[in-house]
Every structure is written in C-alpha cells, then in structure tokens.
Amino acid sequence: GFNVGLIGNLRLTEYLDFRFEPGLFITQRNLIYPNITDPVNRLREVKSTYIFFPFLLKYSALRTGNVRPYLVGGISTALNLGSNYNIQDDNYNDRFRMNQWTNFYELGFGIDLYLEWFKFTPSIRGIFAISDELVRDDDPMSPWTGNIDFMKTSGVLINFTFQ
C-alpha cells in the first residue's frame, strides 16, 4: 500500500510528544480461495482506501549530535471508503464487503535525523486491527466468507517523514 499524510505535534515534556497524524492509505488485499475451482471466483481483489486518524505518544531519547531515537505507540481509527458495507450485493454478485470503521493500535520505533534544512525521520511501525473487519455474505455457507472466523488488518509499515 501507500500512505500520505500530515503531522500535528504537541510537546508535552522534553522527551514526550502527543501526535496526530491523519493520512490517506491506499491498499489492496488478494484473497485466494483454494476450494473454489472457477478461476474467476477463486481470487478476490479487495481494494481499500482508508482515511486514517492516529493518536500517538512519541517518547524520544536524549539527542546525541544530530540523531534522536524514539518509540511511538497509540490508538487509531480508520474510515474505509471502499468498504461496500451498505451494499446489498455480496460475493455472489462480485462484491466483497468490509466494515466502514475499524480501530487499531500501533507500536513502532525510529530516529530523528536533524539535517541542515529539514528533519528526516525514518521509522518502522506495526499496525494491528482490534475488531473484525469482515461483513459476511447473506448465505452462512458462502464459500467466500462462511469459513472465515475473523479478518483483521495487520501490517508492518516503513515510514519516511520530512519535517
């Protein structure tokens, strides 16, 4: 996927910041169903566009020269613009449905690199959904959703931030 966003930062103490980092995530999941023999129905491409609202705490270490490592964590919610949650058609009509709103928690680490004209901040974050995102088909024995207990987004993100 791909993410682009903004950063709002409120310094609480010398080492602790509250951050609001709204963004736009564009992702795609490819679900392959091995029990379905028809090649057209075997693959479901689930494209999603999320408007993401993370609320994070950033704990930074002492700055050494032009480098400052940090840990970040918090909660977030996301609006899935491609969820199809309110459409009556289901997988029998080629519509894969997901919930419109999803809640997540995030954990990560990174470093602030203070350069001459800007601050560059690479980081690695894990994002994990808290609730089930799947809207099941009307038929409980559906070959696409009948055998799925839950579907949650989990991912490892590499972020490059320019401030």
Using one digit for the tens of pLDDT, what is the confidence trace for 24-53?
988 888 888 888 888 777 888 888 889 999
Nearest-CA neighbor of 47 among 90, 84, 101? 84
Whole-model pTM? Answer: 0.80
Q: 97: Cβ–Cβ under 8 A, 6 or more apart, which residues?
A: 83, 84, 85, 87, 90, 134, 135
Place of tokens 């309110």: 86
